[in-house]
Structure 1
Amino acid sequence: MAGHGNCYDNAAIETFFKTIKAELIRRQSWDTRRQAEMAIFEYMDGFYNPRRRHSALDWKSPVAFERKVA
């Protein structure tokens, strides 16, 4: 973490929030909070973390990147 007032403090999480809003939240709605929580969990655990391509990983998915490094 950077010092107080540093604009790069939250850059990674802000990018994640922007992405999840664009790819999931603004595309659908849910009847209950529980449904929304489950959709967000499934997005993060089933798509974003293992399969979505990330620019920081040379546009590879985390699974593909780890397979290449191992």
Structure 2
Amino acid sequence: MESFWGTLQLELLDTWKWQNRAEFAASVFEWIECWYNPFRRHSSLGMLSLSGYEEQYRASHNAD
């Protein structure tokens, strides 16, 4: 969890200023859903991203 907050701080919070709370919330949501979740690699998934793992899973289950 500390890694998540550190990455969020470094890549988003330290680099941008927002006009209001809604703009801030939208930026955090976009960062999590469009970058952090799809592309961050997970050691528990064999160093695949969530997107990569889902693609691999679908490919192996659609081949049946």
User: Which residue of structure 2 lines up, in the alignment, with residue 44 of structure 1?
Assistant: 32
Task: State the identity %.
Answer: 28
- Normalized against structure 1, the TM-score is what? 0.66
TM-align CA RMSD: 1.6
Count, aligned residues: 57
Q: Following TM superposition, by how much is the alpha carbon of 1:55 offset from its aligned partner in structure 2, in angstroms?
A: 4.7
Please identify which structure carries the higher strand content. Answer: 2
Structure 2 spans left out of the alignment, 5+ residues = 59-64
**Moved beyond 6 Å, runs of 4+:** none
Residue 42 of structure 1 aligns with an amino acid whose one-letter code is E
- Normalized against structure 2, the TM-score is what? 0.71
Alpha-carbon distance in 2 for matches of 1:46, 1:69: 20
Structure 1 spans left out of the alignment, 5+ residues = 1-12
User: Relative contact order: is structure 1 or structure 2 higher (C-alpha 8 Å, sep ≥ 6)?
Assistant: 2
